[in-house]
Each structure stands twice: as structure tokens, then as C-alpha cells.
């Protein structure tokens, strides 16, 4: 199970989606990152002793890497301790993501409606996706990552909006206004009353 976007954000003490759903003991391998929520570098897998020993012995990606730097290990441990106590920040990030979804609904911008803190604004065209992202950064100082094939299938290009707990309501309002302006300028289609389903 890939938990790189969920560790630090979901589950008790930020332990991830598998913990939040109560299935962490049913997953063979959970992989996560020390970047993103923890602000370090590197990653990890969690599994039983037999699988870990097998990977240590046979995975070239592990065999030919060097050990993590002591400073990164120390920084990661400290970050994990801090994040595990940051329940209010986890609540705020979810509240901010909900506010973004409400704001996008108010201007009929199509997005994939999930409970994630990462919001995918659907553009469905690689050239327009790049153009929207460029307009947002050049004219409004807002960075929204454009996502193309092969990360997503062709024709399902999108902007990835990632909110943090430090974003304030006025930041979200400014982003919504900017997106509305760019959307209108490029004559992009608005969504109807039904939300896009995640497929």
C-alpha cells in the first residue's frame, strides 16, 4: 500500500490511511516517505520480518543504495515525533481542503471529489493544463502543479492543488478568484451540478 501522501496527515498520530481504516495489520507491505509531511528525504517500507529480510537480500534498489545520513535520520525522528502530536494541524488541513472544494463548487470548476487533502482540478487537455498552470503562476503568483501522462491517462490531465494547514481562508479565496479568472480567460468548460466521480 502506497502511503506517501497520507503519512503524517491521516490516522491516529498521523500513521496513515491503513491505520485510519484499521487495516494496517492486513497489508503485506506499506511504503511511505520521510519527505512531504515530515519535511526530510528518503522513504521506508513496513512489513513483517520475512519480507523485509527478502527485500534486503534481493532488491537491487536497496542493495545498491547507501545508508541514510545520520542527520536525516535524526531530523526524521524529530519530525515524526512533532507530527504525531499535531492533531490540530491534521484537522486544519482537512478543513482547508473542504473549503477549497466548496469554493470550486461555487464557481463550477470541475474536480475529482474525494476526502483527500490533494484536490485534482480536471482540465483534460495537456496544452490547456500547462497554460492554466502557467497563467496562475505568471499573473497571480499561485503555483498549481500540472499533471500529465504518464502520471495520469491521456485526456485526464489535471492541476494538483495541495493545501497545507498554514493556508488561511484569504489564501483559498485568492486562489479561487485567480482560477475563476484564468478559467474564464481560456474559455474552459464549467461543470454541471453533478460532481465528477473518481474512477
pLDDT digits (tens, 9 = 90+) for 10-19: 999 999 999 9
- Residues whose CB is less than 8 angstroms from the CB of residue 177 and which lie 6 or more positions away in sequence, other chains included: none
Q: What is the pLDDT of residue 193?
A: 39
Q: Is the dihedral of CA 70, 63, 35, 28 positive or negative?
A: negative
pLDDT tens digit sequence for 114-143: 989 999 999 999 999 999 999 999 999 999
Asked if residue 7 lies in contact with residue 20, where contact means CB atoms within 8 angstroms, the answer is no
Backbone torsions φ then ψ of 143, nearest 5 degrees:
-100, 120
Q: What is the pLDDT of residue 192?
A: 74
In the predicted structure, residue 197 carries a pLDDT above the cut 50 = no
Q: Is residue 36 among the annotated active site residues?
A: yes
In the predicted structure, residue 102 carries a pLDDT above the cut 70 = yes
pLDDT band at 196 (very low <50, low <70, confident <90, very high): very low
CA 74 from chain centre, in angstroms, equals: 25
Q: Which of 36, 131, 177, 195 is catalytic?
A: 36
Q: What is the pLDDT of residue 64?
A: 80
From the number of C-beta atoms within 10 Å of its C-beta (0-12, 13-18, 19+), residue 193 rates as exposed
Phi-psi region for residue 152, left (φ > 0), alpha (ψ -120 to 50) or beta?
A: beta
CB atoms within 10 A of CB 58: 9
C-alpha dist (Å) from residue 199 to 112, 114, 156, 192: 9, 11, 11, 18
Q: What is the pLDDT of residue 60?
A: 85
Q: What is the pLDDT of residue 199?
A: 36
We find that the CATH architecture of domain 87-185 is: Alpha-Beta Complex (3.90)
Give the integer Cα–Cα distance in Å for 182 and 128: 11
Question: By C-alpha distance, which of 187, 182, 184, 175 is closest to 135?
Answer: 182
C-alpha dist (Å) from residue 33 to 25, 57, 188: 19, 21, 36
Q: What's this model's pTM, rounded to 2 decimal places?
A: 0.83
The SS3 call for residue 89 is helix
**How confident is the prediction for the chain on average, in pLDDT?**
92
In the predicted structure, residue 159 carries a pLDDT above the cut 80 = yes
pLDDT tens digit sequence for 36-66: 999 999 989 999 999 999 998 998 888 787 8
The cell numbers describing 141, all together, are 503568483
What residue ranges do the domains of the chain occupy? 12-84, 87-185
Amino acid at each position: 500500500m502506497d502511503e506517501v501522501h497520507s503519512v503524517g496527515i491521516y490516522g491516529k498520530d498521523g500513521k496513515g490511511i491503513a491505520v485510519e481504516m484499521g487495516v494496517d495489520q492486513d497489508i503485506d507491505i506499506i511504503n511511505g516517505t520521510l519527505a512531504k509531511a515530515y519535511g526530510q528525504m528518503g522513504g521506508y517500507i513496513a512489513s513483517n520480518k520475512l519480507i523485509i529480510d527478502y527485500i534486503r537480500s534481493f532488491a537491487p534498489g536497496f542493495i545498491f543504495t547507501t545508508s541514510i545520513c545520520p542527520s536525516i535520520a535524526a531530523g526524521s525522528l524529530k519530525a515524526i515525533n512533532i507530527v504525531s502530536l499535531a492533531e490540530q494541524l491534521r484537522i486544519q488541513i482537512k478543513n482547508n481542503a473542504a473549503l477549497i472544494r466548496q469554493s470550486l463548487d461555487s464557481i463550477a470548476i470541475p474536480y475529482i471529489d474525494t476526502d483527500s487533502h490533494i484536490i485534482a482540478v480536471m482540465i483534460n487537455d495537456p496544452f490547456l493544463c500547462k497554460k492554466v498552470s502557467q497563467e496562475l503562476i505568471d499573473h497571480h503568483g499561485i503555483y498549481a502543479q500540472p499533471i500529465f501522462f504518464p502520471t495520469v491517462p491521456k485526456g485526464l490531465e489535471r492541476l494538483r492543488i495541495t493545501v497545507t494547514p498554514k493556508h488561511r481562508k484569504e489564501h483559498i479565496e485568492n486562489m479561487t478568484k485567480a482560477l475563476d479568472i484564468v478559467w474564464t480567460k481560456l474559455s474552459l468548460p464549467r461543470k454541471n451540478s453533478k460532481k465528477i466521480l473518481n474512477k
